[in-house]
Chains A and B, each alone.
Chain A
Amino acid sequence: GENVEQHPSTLSVQEGDSAVIKCTYSDSASNYFPWYKQELGKGPQLIIDIRSNVGEKKDQRIAVTLNKTAKHFSLHITETQPEDSAVYFCAASTSGNNNDMRFGAGTRLTVKP
């Protein structure tokens, strides 16, 4: 089955700096890669996703890149703000399959004001 690895486990940046979180996956059949943000005591919230037919997607300060050959994808947050502080999870799944989504271990991002 799919195995998703996520690095780093913790990341601390200064407000205004960029943050990058990287994930690798093992199943070459995976073709859907969402990123979730989880604040303390809350459920994860989908912030951006990418499908395998594109290499990059951007939404304001958030971007995701995908390298299918190397089987890795990354989350980029620019101009970080204190409210970006949270735990971020990457995930990978096969489009159309109900229950094969697997999550990375999470990255705790702290943005210092």
Chain B
Amino acid sequence: GAVVSQHPSWVICKSGTSVKIECRSLDFQATTMFWYRQFPKQSLMLMATSNEGSKATYEQGVEKDKFLINHASLTLSTLTVTSAHPEDSSFYICSARDPQVRREGQFFGPGTRLTVL
């Protein structure tokens, strides 16, 4: 149980284009999902908390107009990187909470590697 998937696993795009990353909870309903960004050999940095049916809560320093988050259902959250630039290249990881399995724990997706040329 508590499986989280991400799509795509990797994407290469041109500077100025937008990229959408999907995060799905496969066998549970996730009222809350989280989006992280991870640079090479660094820790996970929380970008935003995504709540089903409401606006995402962004961490300080994260541009909400650049990183659009939508959590339209209990099993799907999407992150859209708008007008991507090379500095947006990173490993993006989502996670979800399944209170039925672990009240506090987060289950992570496999990540999406974004490369902006």
Contact = CB atoms under 8 A, between A and B. Distances in A.
Question: Are A and B genuine complex partners?
Answer: yes
Chain B contact patch, size range? 20 to 34
Interface stretch (A12-20, A41-49, A61-69, A74-82): A41-49
Contacts, number: 59
Contacts of A32: 104-105
B25 to A, nearest CB: 13
Nearest to A9: B41
A108 B40 CA distance: 12
A49 to B, nearest CB: 6
A89 interface: yes
B103 A99 contact: no
A44 B104 contact: no
Contacts of A106: 41-43
Contacts of B49: 98-99
B97 A98 contact: yes
B111 A98 contact: no
B110 A42 contact: yes
B46 interface: yes
Contacts of B103: 95-96
A101 B106 contact: yes
Contacts of A89: 43-44
Given A46-B105, A49-B104, 10 more contacts: A32-B105, A42-B110, A43-B6, A43-B109, A43-B110, A51-B104, A89-B43, A96-B103, A98-B32, A99-B57
Interface of B: 4, 6, 32, 34, 41-44, 46, 49, 51, 57, 59, 93, 95, 97, 102-111, 113
30 contacts: A32-B105, A34-B104, A34-B105, A42-B110, A43-B4, A43-B6, A43-B93, A43-B111, A44-B93, A44-B108, A45-B108, A46-B107, A46-B108, A49-B104, A51-B104, A89-B43, A89-B44, A95-B103, A95-B104, A98-B32, A98-B51, A98-B97, A99-B46, A99-B49, A99-B59, A101-B106, A103-B43, A105-B43, A106-B42, A108-B41
